[in-house]
Chain A
Amino acid sequence: MPQSAEKILDHAPLFREPEYRQMLAEKKLNFECPHPDQIVTDQGEFTKTWEYREKNLAREALVINPAKACQPLGAVFAAAGFERTMSFVHGSQGCVAYYRSHLSRHFKEPASAVSSSMTEDAAVFGGLKNLVDGLANTYQLYDPKMIAVSTTCMAEVIGDDLHSFIENAKDENSVPRDFDVPFAHTPAFVGSHVDGYDGMLKGILEHFWKGQERTEAKRTINVIPGFDGFCVGNNRELKRLLDVMGVSYTFIQDASDQFDTPSDGEYRMYDGGTKIEEVKGALNAEATVSLQYYNTRKTLDYCGQVGQATASFHYPLGVQATDEFLMKISALSGKEIPEAIRLERGRLIDAMADSQSWLHGKKYAIYGDPDFVYAMARFVMETGGEPTHCLATNGTSAWEAELKELLASSPFGKDAQVWAGKDLWAMRSLLFTEPVDLLIGSSYGKYLERDTGTPLVRLTFPIFDRHHHHRFALMGYQGGLRVLTTILDKIFAKLDRETSQTGVTDHSYDLTR
């Protein structure tokens, strides 16, 4: 009997005990009807070949282990960045349980959203009644300042019209006539979570800006971050930079406090976020700057339509991307980049110079949302690394072209390949056939790490199996230090592991590296 009160073994050690190993071996042999071991081994080896890779990449219909989620997740995240805003997702209720769980598992924080709980009868008759009753209940129970409505694919397939439904709900006094209920149609069968973010954000801006007179406030800027699992660290760092520069700005969609509430005995369903008055005032800004172009294409178009200048970046991370971001902000705001920031830049460069020998020539596979992949590829090249595989399941052909242009601009990008629309099962073949030193992505990459032996650096949403990484910034020069350190730690840990066998690798297990 392996278990004892003195030393309690949970699943990880328990099932490695001989009693359980034997039990499982017998279960397999007697009851599972398994394929013969040799056949399993052969098939396993076959999946590592170029031949398998070709079949794998030729897939047209089946998607396996995609690195993307659906639109409403992005909408719920977007709504979380506004003051006392409750997400209301119109359609089936199970979806909302999923978004809330997904966000909670990443942030280790509460994630609130409600559903209109449509069932079979609503599929037949439409969900108007659900929305009318639902808004009334949400308004009364959860005391929001704003309810942001998005849709699940069920409501989209049956064609519910949010605009008229919300008008109806107001006619029936579900919420006061002047209560803010912005909305966005977010069909799960179009685009991905980054488009849901875009749609919801545009919906909110349109709700407050449409028909309003715009009086341009010169030199003021709106900053939109995009869907970002590292919003807690990133938004605070960006606001710090903007404050240090003395820029007059509105940070539109700031979920950094919502997903980082303190533990002091009080549960805050709402915390922080862009104030509604600020959103209204943001119409007058001279310019709107998006930190993630592929998250905000429609929103930027809309900002342009109302007369604002627009600029966009791809997740400004690393040296040159941060340089460009700051210079753009400086140009738009008329504020100089202060010496303090130049010194921060110098410290990042200093760190990169100190560590360059460990990074030069390292090969990487990078996956995630389009802007993030672009940013990481760029930073990797700045360190002398080679971004061998750049993959975004939700990457478009425009993204592919833009990234290829970036890669062509550096000798470190000459062997790089861009994989738009591919998934992580495709990545598995890529890693077997054209191996790299490091894999950069989300927690889902752990299966690739296990199968291919490529160390995984977790630097993008979702991160379920490591804690608190999202509390630290990746953007800006400070963020660059964090990314640099994280990558280096992985390299050193691997080297130590590979040289730690006493009597075999006493050499190379160096104290100073």
Chain B
Amino acid sequence: MSLEYENDGALHAKLIEEVLSQYPDKAAKRRKKHLSIAKSGVEAGGESEILSECDVKSNIKSIPGVMTIRGCAYAGSKGVVWGPVKDMVHISHGPVGCGQYSWSQRRNYYVGTTGIDTFGTMQFTSDFQEKDIVFGGDKKLEQIIDEIEVLFPLNNGITVQSECPIGLIGDDTEAVSRKKAKEYKKTIVPVRCEGFRGVSQSLGHHIANDAIRDWVFDKKDVEFEAGAYDVNVIGDYNIGGDAWASRILLEEIGLRVVGNWSGDATLAEIERAPKAKLNLIHCYRSMNYICRHMEEKYGVAWMEYNFFGPSQIETSLRKIAKHFGPEIEEKTEKVIAKYRPLVDAVISKYRPRLEGNTVMLYVGGLRPRHVITAYEDLGMVIVGTGYEFGHNDDYQRTGHYVKNGTLIYDDVTGYELEKFIEGVRPNLVGSGIKEKYPVQKMGIPFRQMHSWDYSGPYHGYDGFAIFARDVDLAINNPVWDLYQAPWKERPPRGRAIAAE
């Protein structure tokens, strides 16, 4: 169900020119490379059809003082990749803040008895003091691990998530981890994700992936009877339950999900991953590294898929099924047919209420492209998108999704985003908590697209229904029409539509 439209490239080019004119010359020169308009690309046809080219520089240093929205390597490792592994204790190693601000904020759902056999919504920190900086924190780390073993004996492992000072003061967390792992016969993983490493969250993902390779794989004998239809779901963090809404579909088509990385994951699911037949990767940006490694070392094939919105779900399910052959393909068609009435009902309910509404996105490393078709399934138009920490290969992949004339912004600054939104006046903006309130003040509906704005899941068919409901309730709430005091004249924005 591809939606045909073209965006106003000329307006977007003008907006880019305007924002760049406000920077000091040096900064303008650097920012220019991150902003562009998607141009019609090569028409290759079929699945690999490239709609457009998004030619921007990416994954390079942010400019100081411009209000980048990016985070750090620690956020990429502790916050994204490792944090959701529920039966391990993740130590935020360093001062108290990093762990405090990231405590329970990503909504990676899990089930377990928190504090006893699972530890997801807890904040373990070494709470560095001045003396730890001066004398080093290795001894303290040893003691912390001892104390964890006393108070949380059912933990299945520990990770040490390094914060900025650790790398600067020359602590040897690897040596401590090795020593303590031997002593307790447990998996202890040091992760060198100090926040100053790299240019964004992205290097933290990579470092976290490497830590799995170096400190988890091949360290234990994994007893597991492998099956012909075993898959791992990689790069689904189960935000608002996304991974569960995906798993239910994969099981329905006859596959066995033997590991989910890393939402609702246990260490066992990570350890056995190399025994699976196929790695299904959702968030390519944060976990492609380990998939490539598993392919090279263990011969596990990997495949990208997209479970946002019915068009992509169907395409992805068929692509996955094809990998496993006719039996799975047949089941898959039945599953698609089973959910068809739900999809039709959701679209016929919401599309008329959303048709033609414009959307600007600014998210992390996957969603700026992956969610586009879900909006289009509802008849909505994507006018701008960009990544906080995407790389060149992400922008290449984005070309498959966006239309000619789409505004593309990499590592956007607070100033640029505000001006772009003001200039474009989209009907909806999808971005993060830091962007939510400025946008809403302008009278423009907003949904957080990292945390699903405390809703979700958005993956799978169950998730699509929720997504459609949420987009509708954001856009069609009556509050947007109340912004102007009636004694101040301003033409009305349009009528809100009551909830159905």
Which A residues are closer than 8 A to B by beta carbons? 1-6, 8-11, 14-15, 19-20, 23-24, 27-28, 31-35, 39-40, 43-44, 47, 52, 55-56, 59-66, 68-70, 72-73, 88, 91-95, 97-102, 104-105, 108-120, 122-123, 130-131, 133-138, 140-142, 152-154, 157-158, 187-190, 192, 261, 263-269, 425, 428, 444, 447, 451
Q: B65 touching A134 by the CB < 8 A rule? A: yes
List, in ascending order, chain B residues with CB within 8 A of A187's CB: 95, 130
Q: Give A73 to B98 CA distance when docked, in angstroms.
A: 11
Q: Nearest CB to that of A262 among chain B residues?
A: B441
- B496 touches A (CB below 8 Å): no
| Shortest Cβ gap from A423 to chain B (Å) | 9
Q: B438 touching A94 by the CB < 8 A rule? A: no
30 contacts between A and B (CB under 8 A): A1-B342, A2-B462, A8-B346, A14-B466, A31-B258, A33-B266, A33-B268, A39-B154, A40-B116, A56-B151, A63-B96, A70-B96, A91-B164, A94-B195, A95-B72, A97-B75, A105-B433, A110-B441, A112-B67, A114-B64, A114-B67, A138-B66, A141-B67, A141-B413, A153-B97, A153-B163, A189-B95, A190-B129, A264-B483, A444-B103
Q: A10 touching B168 by the CB < 8 A rule? A: no
Q: Give A93 to B67 CA distance when docked, in angstroms.
A: 9
Q: B61 touching A117 by the CB < 8 A rule? A: yes
The interface centre, meaning the residue of A4, A113, A263, A444 with most chain B CB atoms within 10 A of its CB, is A263
Given contacts A27-B247, A187-B130, contact A141 B95 (CB under 8 A): no
Q: B66 touching A31 by the CB < 8 A rule? A: no
List, in ascending order, chain A residues with CB within 8 A of B315's CB: none
Q: B244 touching A23 by the CB < 8 A rule? A: yes
Partner of B70, one of A34, A52, A94: A94
Which B residues are closer than 8 A to A by beta carbons? 22-24, 26-27, 61-75, 87, 91, 94-98, 100-103, 105, 109, 111, 113-117, 121-130, 132-133, 140-141, 143-144, 147-148, 150-151, 153-154, 156, 163-165, 167-169, 195-199, 201, 240-241, 244-245, 247-248, 251, 257-259, 264, 266, 268-269, 338-339, 342, 345-346, 348-349, 413-415, 418, 432-434, 436-443, 455-457, 461-462, 465-466, 468-469, 483-485, 490
Given contacts A10-B466, A116-B65, A190-B129, contact A34 B117 (CB under 8 A): yes
List, in ascending order, chain B residues with CB within 8 A of A154's CB: 164-165, 168, 195-196
Q: Nearest CB to that of A188 among chain B residues?
A: B95
Q: Give A66 to B95 CA distance when docked, in angstroms.
A: 12
Q: A11 touching B165 by the CB < 8 A rule? A: no
Q: A115 touching B64 by the CB < 8 A rule? A: yes
Partner of B164, one of A6, A32, A153: A153
Q: Nearest CB to that of A133 among chain B residues?
A: B64
Besides A62-B144, A117-B62, A117-B64, 4 more A-B contacts (Cβ < 8 Å) are A23-B248, A64-B125, A70-B100, A97-B434
Q: B97 touching A72 by the CB < 8 A rule? A: yes
Q: Nearest CB to that of B92 among chain A residues?
A: A63
Given contacts A95-B97, A117-B64, contact A66 B123 (CB under 8 A): yes
| Shortest Cβ gap from B246 to chain A (Å) | 11
List, in ascending order, chain B residues with CB within 8 A of A61's CB: 126, 140-141, 143-144, 147
Q: B122 touching A65 by the CB < 8 A rule? A: yes
Q: A94 touching B437 by the CB < 8 A rule? A: no
Q: B72 touching A92 by the CB < 8 A rule? A: yes
Q: B437 touching A73 by the CB < 8 A rule? A: no
